[in-house]
Amino acid sequence: MKILFEWISRAFALALVVWVGALFFSPDKCTRVQRFGLPVIYFFNYVVSPLAEHWASPDTKLFILKVQYKSVLSVQQFFERTMYGVSTAKDSGGVQVDVYACTK
């Protein structure tokens, strides 16, 4: 059991190092922002969706997809706002809104 835990922890550490390396060695900021959301995408695609596949109703599956897309967008916007800042602009009603370069 201890050996299994060591293998799992090493695989997780390697995946973390690869993910951080992919963030740092990206050609532009939009690619970095997109790659920052990959753990959320993989979590929903390989953990949540398979667990809900057989017992969830179609409405629940649609809700899970909506939560996935909102979560990925939130994580990407957090990263973009933290690393690159956000400019503001006025919309058609004159209200100040945040303008993101990579996430919309």
Confidence of residue 85 (pLDDT cuts 50, 70, 90): confident
Q: Is the pLDDT of residue 91 over 70?
A: no
8 pLDDT higher than 80? yes
For 25-48, letters b (16+ CB in 10 Å) and e give eeeeebebbbbbbeebeeebeeee
| pLDDT tier, 44 (very low <50, low <70, confident <90, very high otherwise) | very high
DSSP 11-70: HHHHHHHHHHHHHHT-SSHHHHHHHHTHHHHHHIIIIIHHHHTTTS-HHHHHHHHHHHHH
**Under DSSP, is residue 102 helix (H, G, I), strand (E, B) or coil?**
coil
Q: 26-30 long-range CB contacts below 8 Å, 24 or more apart?
A: 29/80, 29/83, 29/84, 29/101, 29/102, 30/101, 30/102
Domain ranges in the chain are 28-99
pTM higher than 0.85: no
